[in-house]
Amino acid sequence: MQQNPEMDYVGFWPRVGATLIDTLLLLIIIMPMLIAIYGRSYFSTDSLFRGPAHFMISCVMPPLIQLAFWITLSTTPGKMAIGAIIVDAKTGNKPSAGQCVKRCLSSYLSALPLYLGFFWIGKDSRKQGWHDKIADTVVIRRKTAAVPASPGLPLQ
């Protein structure tokens, strides 16, 4: 995809902010479910694995929710908050479901070597992490035209 003057690549720090928003929203969903199943003792155990419900709710459900947002809306609530969407790197169109699945799975590869694949976003000219490169996607903001001043209203 050529650099389009109507689009900006979204860099590392805005994407960190979007991820924090997504994480908080997921916690609002996940924690009540875990407490309902395991009770308040969920927080007092040192066990990493608390049971099949814990695995499904904490490890399987979040990436599935994320994937559902990517496939249907090309974004997540956190990315919506910063005005960002995921697009195909070649065409600028909505990514395919296959690209979204590949992006989701390859995000684990981006995380494995000390999150280097995510830090790569800060270095890359198109702000792509390794998962974006593997899935051939980019995260962009569409530029909006300046809103013309209304007649009769003073400019500030």
pLDDT value, residue 147: 45
pLDDT at residue 20 in the model = 98
Alpha-carbon gap, residue 149 to 122, rounded angstroms: 36
pLDDT at 28: 97
Q: Which of 156, 153, 152, 102 is nearest to 130 (CA)?
A: 102
SS3 7: strand
Tokens of residue 36, six digits: 């309902």
Q: What is the pTM of this model?
A: 0.84
What pLDDT tens digit does each residue of the chain (156 aa) get?
Answer: 456 666 799 999 999 999 999 999 999 999 999 999 999 888 887 777 788 999 999 999 999 999 999 999 999 999 999 999 999 999 999 999 999 999 999 999 999 989 999 999 999 999 999 999 999 999 999 776 544 444 554 444
Pair 82, 141: CB distance under 8 Å: yes
- Cα-Cα-Cα-Cα torsion 117, 123, 126, 127, nearest 10 degrees, comes to 50
Q: Tell me how far apart the 2 most distant CA atoms of the chain are, in Å.
A: 66
Cβ partners under 8 Å of residue 129, min gap 6:
107, 110, 117, 118, 120, 121
Looking at residue 142, its pLDDT comes to: 79
Give the pLDDT of residue 22.
Answer: 98
